[in-house]
């Protein structure tokens, strides 16, 4: 029998990467928060790669940290390998990537949740929402508990009507054989939400003791103190390497011979998979001329022998998976511990959301993570954080927090989702960002700490430190701009030595630093400081001076767009009453209901003429109001 189980400010459904951030953010902002999860043993579970970060995604983890989120800190506590990627490329695309001890990650995250004030953690499966009028006011669990909440955040991941597919086998399941959530999905449909079906997948796990590593190439981590979080002080020293091997003609032959049994091709899978994350059968079919594909062997943790076989994502029958492994150098005798599988699940069409991640249909209901059609732990965590923040601000009557595309990758992610939607699991790529040079991993704190502080997720102490760093960077740049380095014999000798051209005349220290071959350290030789700057402040000084011209150009672009960003479209606008809009544009506008002209202009199918008409209409509306005021 249903019973009343209590009232909260915010209820978070799910405790994956989105749920954890949402719950922690809400609780830390002082809201009385309830987190409900199907299983307390799978908090912060990573059903796929034991890996966090990489290009774009790594920047997101930094952004989460700058906003006061948890993911970066938790990775720093539990990684088994950390690498800085793209170091030979420019600063805009550098990114950290960690291999994470999966079990340790879950354990640490659970500990953090359990010890968080204002946060209540309960194991329960939510089957229904309590909706009054057009507002969500709570949830009902399978066991009949009725929890009331001023706002509800759904972070159901791939659990909604989840189905696992391995070869000809298909069964109802959440990821890794957890309980799926069937009723909630039906309930959302009843409430009028449009759901679509997506597909994702994961490779097999094998036993490390059965791998012949001598036939593979080692991929070590980077030495040195690296961390995702700006607050991390202790750095893990013990690291595990990854290993590289390849498929070959034999592997491909086995796959080709068994294609009729591959659910992707037999028609058994109907959900849309992601192009950037193809299964090995997909790769073999689509790139049939490639003689081999890379396979990275990634340890799943310090205390386990399970190894993740990156590159062999598959939903082939288990039997074929065994055969495939046999053909790969080093894996001839590998023992398969868990088979790879594909999973299909329900996704809310994300254009049904406001940029705050609140649903348009039902007030005070937010959704975040894979339920919104994304893939990736980082994308999920980022949405969870923003949904948590906005849920609390909504119930407190505070203004919404919407990150612009020029503020953060998180802004790009959410804007893409709610403006354009997605027809495959959405993954962040650096190329999705127009202002990549502004959205660097090294300046995430400079971009976002202010916002994190304002919403109450950054401590006073950290904020003060941040301000000091900002000031130090500013002062040092000013200093380098004021110092003239003269063509002294020492300077010339040094420049000759490193293959740079000699000075003809005195040059500003900042201008010398603009030479690609000159580093900040080099400049310090001839423009010494009394006290050294911190390494990350030094990095900022170097990047901000070296790429000044480019950064300036990007900022100008942002500036130009700002007018459009600031042109608000009233929420109650009646697109049917606007004469002259093209039919397709009208339909899209009615569906997306953009908040600004800039957002409207990013909707595919809304062309410049429609934007002009919209502007005319808005201008006209304003005039009408002005004249009625005058009258």
**Region of residue 3 (phi > 0: left; psi between -120 and 50: alpha; otherwise: beta):** beta
* Residue 176: Cβ-neighbour burial (10 angstroms; 0-12, 13-18, 19+): middle
Query: For residues 267 and 608, which CB has a smaller minimum distance to another protein in the complex?
Result: 608
464 binds another protein (CB under 8 A): no
Of the chain, the end-to-end C-alpha distance in Å amounts to 62
437 binds another protein (CB under 8 A): yes
199 binds another protein (CB under 8 A): no
Query: For residues 57 and 593, which CB has a smaller minimum distance to another protein in the complex?
Result: 57
By CB under 8 A, the residues from 215 to 254 that bind another protein are 219
2 binds another protein (CB under 8 A): no
How would you write 177-219 as a 3-class SS string? HCCCECHHHHHHHHCCCCEEEEEEEECCEEEHHHCCHHHCEEE
DSSP readout, 428-455? --GGG-TTTTTS-STTHHHHHHHHHHHH
Helix (H, G, I), strand (E, B), or coil: what is residue 361?
Answer: coil
d(CA 19, CA 39): 13
Site string for another protein, 276-295 (x = CB under 8 A): --------------x--xx-
Match 């904020």 to its residue by tokens: 463
d(CA 436, CA 527): 31
CB of 33 to another protein, least distance (A): 35
Question: Considering only residues 13, 26, 67, 92, which one is a binding residue for another protein as defined by CB under 8 A?
Answer: 92
Tokens for 280, please give them: 């090995």
Question: Considering only residues 52, 56, 309, 457, which one is a binding residue for another protein as defined by CB under 8 A?
Answer: 56
Q: For residue 533, which of 480, 482, 463 has the smallest C-alpha distance?
A: 480
d(CA 255, CA 242): 25
**Region of residue 190 (phi > 0: left; psi between -120 and 50: alpha; otherwise: beta):** alpha
Tokens for 346, please give them: 């329900």
Pick the stretch among 16-24, 125-133, 368-376, 429-437 that binds another protein (CB under 8 A): 429-437
Pick the stretch among 98-106, 135-143, 471-479, 596-604 that binds another protein (CB under 8 A): 596-604
Residues 6+ apart with CB under 8 A from 85: 54, 55, 58, 94, 95, 96, 97
Q: For residue 272, which of 424, 426, 428 has the smallest C-alpha distance?
A: 424
Q: For residue 294, which of 330, 219, 251, 244 has the smallest C-alpha distance?
A: 244
Pick the stretch among 34-42, 119-127, 196-204, 621-629 that binds another protein (CB under 8 A): 621-629
Count of residues that interact with another protein, criterion CB under 8 A: 50
Question: Considering only residues 16, 55, 162, 203, which one is a binding residue for another protein as defined by CB under 8 A?
Answer: 55
CB of 167 to another protein, least distance (A): 27
| Beta strand ranges found along 214-305 (DSSP E) | 217-219, 242-246, 294-299
Pick the stretch among 45-53, 376-384, 460-468, 601-609 that binds another protein (CB under 8 A): 601-609
436 binds another protein (CB under 8 A): yes
Question: Considering only residues 6, 7, 32, 86, which one is a binding residue for another protein as defined by CB under 8 A?
Answer: 86
Query: For residues 285 and 561, which CB has a smaller minimum distance to another protein in the complex?
Result: 561
d(CA 370, CA 213): 35
What backbone phi and psi angles, to 5 degrees, belong to 287? -120, 65
550 binds another protein (CB under 8 A): yes
State the DSSP code for 416. Answer: I
CB of 82 to another protein, least distance (A): 15
Q: What is the CA radius of gyration of the chain?
A: 26
Site string for another protein, 113-152 (x = CB under 8 A): ----------------------------------------
CB of 557 to another protein, least distance (A): 9
Q: For residue 257, which of 203, 308, 327, 338 has the smallest C-alpha distance?
A: 327
Length of the chain: 631
Query: For residues 329 and 456, which CB has a smaller minimum distance to another protein in the complex?
Result: 329
Q: What's the Cα-to-Cα distance from 536 to each of 227, 406, 451, 514, 584, rounded to whole Å?
A: 12, 22, 20, 18, 49
CB of 216 to another protein, least distance (A): 14
Query: For residues 228 and 435, which CB has a smaller minimum distance to another protein in the complex?
Result: 435
Question: Considering only residues 40, 85, 395, 472, which one is a binding residue for another protein as defined by CB under 8 A?
Answer: 85
CB of 507 to another protein, least distance (A): 16
98 binds another protein (CB under 8 A): no
Question: Considering only residues 6, 40, 90, 232, which one is a binding residue for another protein as defined by CB under 8 A?
Answer: 90
Query: For residues 468 and 626, which CB has a smaller minimum distance to another protein in the complex?
Result: 626
CB of 422 to another protein, least distance (A): 17
Tokens for 47, please give them: 């059903």
Site string for another protein, 551-590 (x = CB under 8 A): --xx-----xx--x-------------xxx-x--------
Question: Considering only residues 508, 522, 601, 605, which one is a binding residue for another protein as defined by CB under 8 A?
Answer: 601
Query: For residues 107 and 515, which CB has a smaller minimum distance to another protein in the complex?
Result: 515
Q: Which residues bind another protein (CB under 8 A)?
A: 55-56, 85-86, 88-93, 219, 290, 293-294, 296, 429-431, 436-437, 516-517, 547, 550, 553-554, 560-561, 564, 578-580, 582, 597-598, 601, 607-609, 611-613, 615-617, 619-620, 623, 626-627
């Amino acid at each position: 029998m249903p019973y009343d189980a209590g009232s909260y400010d915010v209820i978070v459904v799910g405790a994956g990467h989105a749920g954890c951030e949402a719950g922690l953010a809400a609780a830390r902002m002082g809201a009385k928060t309830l987190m409900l999860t199907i299983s307390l043993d799978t908090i912060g579970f990573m059903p796929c790669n034991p890996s966090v970060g990489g290009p774009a995604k790594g920047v997101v983890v930094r952004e989460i940290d700058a906003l006061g989120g948890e993911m970066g800190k938790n990775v720093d506590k539990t990684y088994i390998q950390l690498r800085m990627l793209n170091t030979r490329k420019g600063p805009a695309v550098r990114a950290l990537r960690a291999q994470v001890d999966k079990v340790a990650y879950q354990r640490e995250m659970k500990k953090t949740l359990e010890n968080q004030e204002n946060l209540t953690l309960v194991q329960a499966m939510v089957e229904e929402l309590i909706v009054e009028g057009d507002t969500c006011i709570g949830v009902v669990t399978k066991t009949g508990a009725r929890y009331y909440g001023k706002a509800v955040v759904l972070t159901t991941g791939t659990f909604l009507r989840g189905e696992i597919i391995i070869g000809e086998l298909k069964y109802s399941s959440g990821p890794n054989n957890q309980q799926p959530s069937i009723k909630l999905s039906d309930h959302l449909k009843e409430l009028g939400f449009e759901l679509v079906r997506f597909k994702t997948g994961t490779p097999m796990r094998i036993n490390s003791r059965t791998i012949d590593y001598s036939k593979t190439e080692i991929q070590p981590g980077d030495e040195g103190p690296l961390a995702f979080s700006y607050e991390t002080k202790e750095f893990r020293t013990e690291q595990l390497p990854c290993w590289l091997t390849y498929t070959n003609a034999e592997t491909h032959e086995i796959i080709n011979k068994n294609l009729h049994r591959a659910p992707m091709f037999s028609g058994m899978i109907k959900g849309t998979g992601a192009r950037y994350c193809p299964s090995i059968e997909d790769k073999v079919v689509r790139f049939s001329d490639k003689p081999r594909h890379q396979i990275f062997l990634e340890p799943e943790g310090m205390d386990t022998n399970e190894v993740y076989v990156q590159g062999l994502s598959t939903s082939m029958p288990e039997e074929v998976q065994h055969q495939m492994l046999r053909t790969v150098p080093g894996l001839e005798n590998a023992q398969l511990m868990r088979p790879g599988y594909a999973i299909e699940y329900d996704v809310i069409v994300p254009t049904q959301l406001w940029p705050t991640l609140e649903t348009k249909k039902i007030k005070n209901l937010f959704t975040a993570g894979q339920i919104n059609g994304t893939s990736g732990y980082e994308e999920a965590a980022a949405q969870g954080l923003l949904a948590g923040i906005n849920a609390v601000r909504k119930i407190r009557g505070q203004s919404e927090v919407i990150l612009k595309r020029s503020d953060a990758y998180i802004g790009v992610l959410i804007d893409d989702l709610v403006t354009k939607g997605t027809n495959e699991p959405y993954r962040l790529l650096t190329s999705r960002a127009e202002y990549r040079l502004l959205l660097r991993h090294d300046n995430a704190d400079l971009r976002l700490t202010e916002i994190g502080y304002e919403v109450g997720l950054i401590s006073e102490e950290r904020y003060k430190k941040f301000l000091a760093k900002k000031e130090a960077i500013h002062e040092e740049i000013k200093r380098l701009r004021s110092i003239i380095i003269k063509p002294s014999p020492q300077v010339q000798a040094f420049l000759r030595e490193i293959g740079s051209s000699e000075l003809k005349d005195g040059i500003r220290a900042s201008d010398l630093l603009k030479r690609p071959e000159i580093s900040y350290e080099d400049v310090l030789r001839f423009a010494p400081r009394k006290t050294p700057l911190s390494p990350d402040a030094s990095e900022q000084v170097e990047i901000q001076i070296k790429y000044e011209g480019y950064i300036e150009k990007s900022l100008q672009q942002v500036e130009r767009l700002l007018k459009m960003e600031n042109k608000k479209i009233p929420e109650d606008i009646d697109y049917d009453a606007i004469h002259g809009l093209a039919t397709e544009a009208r339909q899209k506008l009615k569906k997306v209901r953009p908040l600004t002209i800039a957002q409207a202009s990013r909707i595919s199918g809304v062309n410049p003429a429609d934007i002009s008409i919209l502007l005319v209409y808005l201008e006209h509306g304003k005039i009408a109001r002005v004249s009625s005021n005058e009258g």
